[in-house]
Amino acid sequence: MTVSPPSRQIEVLLVEDDPGDVLMTREAFQDYKLANQLHVVHDGAEAMAFLRREGDYSGAPRPDLVLLDLNLPRMDGREVLQAVKSDPELASIPVVVLTTSEAEEDVLRSYSLHANAYVTKPVDFERFIEVVRQIDEFFVTVVRLPKR
């Protein structure tokens, strides 16, 4: 089965406060998906400002995909997920929870808040990069995303 490349650049918003995870995610995107644009914010309040195009983010693009950590300062990932999925303007944006938590309650809560996927971050560098690549590949080449 051959999968054709996407016909447009995909805008991805990474909501992550760990600089090491941001660096590894950037490396995964640079190594595998040069056509896609990765935007990074470091806490939940920044994520909501980016998504709503407020303040410093008034010119931000609408993301096609959000990669969301759960444990964030100011507004945690659960609150961001609930806000996104309850906002009619944002609810159609796929949100992948990408977190270190393996707790079943976090998995259940994320899906009850309508996360599109829940992925536990591997601690191994190579495996982490491979997981990010697989998420990106799935949402870019397999899934049909809504038009902006």
Residue 58 backbone dihedrals phi, psi, to 5 degrees: -60, -25
For residues 131 and 13, what is the distance between their CA atoms, to the nearest angstrom? 16
pLDDT digits (tens, 9 = 90+) for 114-125: 999 999 998 888
For residues 61 and 75, what is the distance between their CA atoms, to the nearest angstrom? 21
pLDDT digits (tens, 9 = 90+) for 15-73: 999 999 999 888 888 776 556 889 999 999 999 999 999 999 999 999 999 999 999 99
Number of residues that this document lists for the chain: 148
pTM: 0.89
For residues 77 and 98, what is the distance between their CA atoms, to the nearest angstrom? 10
What CATH number was assigned to the domain covering residues 11-139?
3.40.50.2300
Domain assignments of the chain as residue spans, ordered by start: 11-139
Classify residue 139 by its DSSP letter: I
Q: At what angle do helices 44-52 and 77-86 cross, to 10 degrees?
A: 20
How much of the chain, in percent, has pLDDT values that exceed 90?
61
